[in-house]
Amino acid sequence: MHRISNEQRRTRLGRRHRLVPSARATTPVEAADAVVALHATDAATLYLSVCARLTDADSATVERALYDDVALVRLLSLRNTLFAMSREVAPHVDASTARAIAAKERRTFLKHLADDSGNLDERWLAETEAATLAALTTRGAATGSELSAAVPALRTKITVFPGKKWQAEQGVASRVIRLLAADGHIRRDRPRGSWTSSQFRWTAATPWPAVPVPEAKAEVARRWLHSYGPATEADLAWWTGWTLTDSRRALAVIDAEEVQLDDGVSGFVVPGDTAPEPPVEPWAALLPALDPSAMGWADRTFHLDAEHRSALFDRAGNIGPTVWWNGKIIGGWAQRADGEVVWRLLTDPGQEAVAAIGVEAARLSEWVGDTRITPRFRTPLERELTS
């Protein structure tokens, strides 16, 4: 059995995730494909993740890919989280994960409607969705508030968890819009405000073509393993949100090759991907909260020391902005109110690393310009740096 060391895993990460300067991408699509899909829950994270991997970082380039060319699309998919990916990857992610999530979302909402004291049911939901789509088609693009003004049914309120101590009144607009987006009938369009805004407009879309689920899962597993391998079955299950059984089945379909990792655990690579990764030049990176290179595995010990977790993660397990040196997370960064990008190292990597990190911080400051970034999920170190 081939053995792949942690050092080799970090070298793979740097090159394959397009973080090494000599391997950076020239387009947002290349940057997204390098990690299969990009976290998009936080609007700023998507831009920061792409630009960290581009030869010429520019928010306008990412905006064109999202809204003019629609070359990158957002899907509620992996782990029931919003991700952005290329149009080539999207049908496979849609079939392998997003369809099941959309069906569950619909069942849950219909149960809430049934539990409510009103006369809201599946027929009411279908009529409301049709009216919302008609209003959106007429307008071309609209915010949730604008759609609520145009469709009276969207202003309906329901009681959720009736009789419980957490009983609450909840509007249906965001839930109906979420269902339409999950089913691929609408998509996020340009937000109101800057690229960091989460106040999106919506526009009509066409659902993705059907792909057989086993085929879709195999393709997602193959792409993920090329980018993140060697990795374990548990890593794949965590990243996708699939069951361990589904993950094992997908790895078997693609004939994933078993290898041994430094800790003695078995990992997998795509068939034939066992040759030593050629060396790369020393590299530094400042990656945003929830970046895929930090969140791509259930077990991240090969690139993150356990003693650093308490400073870099929030209580829910979301990682904040990170500083990298040669494939390891060695600190965190933040942007202060005056725009200054500051960082703190949790270990001493030497003067070469400090100089390289300074270059990356200057590069980040230059393309971000006057924009101010506050992560949605704030961590202890990020809060300290901005206090």
User: Where along the chain do the CATH 1.10.10 domains lie?
Assistant: 101-204
Residue 43 in tokens? 């609007």
Number of CB atoms found within 10 A of residue 267's CB:
25
Rounded to whole angstroms, the maximal C-alpha distance in the chain is 68
Q: Cα(305)–Cα(152) distance, rounded to whole angstroms?
A: 53
Q: Cβ neighbours of residue 187 under 8 Å, at least 6 residues apart?
A: 70, 73, 74, 181, 202, 203, 205
Q: Cα(148)–Cα(89) distance, rounded to whole angstroms?
A: 32
| Nearest CA-CA partner of 173 in 192, 205, 150, 203 | 150
Q: Cα(370)–Cα(355) distance, rounded to whole angstroms?
A: 24
Q: What CATH number should be reported for the domain whose range is 101-204?
A: 1.10.10
Q: What is the pLDDT along the chain (387 residues), one digit of tens a residue?
A: 899 999 999 999 999 999 999 999 999 999 999 999 999 999 999 999 999 999 999 999 999 999 999 999 999 999 999 999 999 999 999 999 999 999 999 999 998 888 776 678 999 999 999 999 999 999 999 999 999 999 999 999 988 877 788 888 888 999 999 999 999 999 999 999 899 999 999 999 999 999 999 999 999 999 999 999 999 999 999 999 999 999 999 999 999 999 999 999 999 999 999 999 999 999 999 999 999 999 999 999 999 999 999 999 999 999 999 999 999 999 999 999 999 999 999 999 999 999 999 999 999 999 999 999 988 889 999 999 998
Burial class (CB within 10 angstroms; exposed 0-12, middle 13-18, buried 19+) of 243:
exposed
**pLDDT value of residue 161:** 79
DSSP assignment string, 118-158: SS--HHHHHHHHHHHHHHHHHHSSEEHHHHHHH-GGGG-EE
DSSP assignment string, 152-197: GGGG-EEEESTTSTT-EEEESHHHHHHHHHHTTSEEEEEESSSTT-
**pLDDT value of residue 209:** 94
**pLDDT value of residue 107:** 95
CA angle 86, 291, 102 (to 5 degrees): 55
The phi, psi pair for 380, rounded to 5°, reads -55, -45
Q: Cα(24)–Cα(18) distance, rounded to whole angstroms?
A: 5
Residue 116 in tokens? 């409510």
Global pTM value: 0.94
Residue with tokens 């659902």: 207
Q: Is-contact 108 115, C-beta < 8 A?
A: no
The phi, psi pair for 336, rounded to 5°, reads -80, 170
